[in-house]
Structure 1
């Protein structure tokens, strides 16, 4: 396990996650070769929300935390937890912000050809079926 403020915060978040996490989400610290965990790197899966074009997919994401987490998080308040980050990403899947897009090509498709965007989203959902 990692020490310091970041490691302590992430260890606490891990305990909270194990007790209460959103249904269908998976988040686990990366396993090291020696069997210990690396709290600074988490392998996560975000389910597509029911009733959306993303439904049916379980989307992989890796979260890398720096030693100065949560004091200097990239783009959110230090009080925001990993759980809130993952829920926020899930919300962005179905409600992207076209004025602040992270990926140009899908953003242009979302704006200019919503039907094609929807078709591609549904194809993505089929690529990432739940494995549990």
Structure 2
């Protein structure tokens, strides 16, 4: 592991634990042998109660490369009942389509885990129709100005998350 990536990730974890940003969690994942994996984090974003996700905590993983912070982490939303979040900017695999996660667009090595989680929270509430990643969700989202059908599907996933059944079987 590069010393720059390790040093930066350690410092980010220390800062995260010290500041404890409201509505987020972020921790190292655990390897099969019980050791901590600082290159892969399990994170959560508590959504707004009055937003489309109705206060659900959407979980995700961030996987960092040896080139971090020169390159952004790979961010994947955890599947909800075996399916990707119904969102125009979430690929069917769960990968997040967000410009700050793209090294050819808006990624900057000064971005932090908290900054990324804030960007993901904003994206969950405010999809970007100019950067679709999931065809069905995109078509449903743009079909009507009030997004009623999209909101209904998102609310169903939010209820699954809040019931505790959404992430069953997820490490």
TM-score by length of 1: 0.89
| Aligned-pair CA distance for 1:122 | 0.8
SS of alignment partner, residue 39 of structure 2:
strand
2:77 corresponds to 1:77: no
Task: Give me the CA root mean square deviation.
Answer: 1.7
CA contact (8 A) 2:23 2:47 kept: no
| Aligned-pair CA distance for 1:90 | 0.5
SS of alignment partner, residue 130 of structure 2:
helix
Moved over 3 A (4+): none
Aligned length: 130
- 1:32 corresponds to which residue? 31
2:149 corresponds to 1:116: yes
SS of alignment partner, residue 99 of structure 1:
coil
Q: Which runs of 5+ in 1 are unaligned?
A: none
CA distance in 1, matches of 2:118, 2:134: 19
| Aligned-pair CA distance for 1:14 | 0.2
Q: Which runs of 5+ in 2 are unaligned?
A: 73-100, 165-171
TM-score by length of 2: 0.70
Structure number with greater CO (CA < 8 Å, separation at least 6) is: 1
- 1:66 corresponds to which residue? 65
- 1:95 corresponds to which residue? 126
CA contact (8 A) 1:47 1:55 kept: no
Moved more, 26-35 or 116-125: 26-35
CA contact (8 A) 1:26 1:44 kept: yes
CA contact (8 A) 1:45 1:61 kept: yes
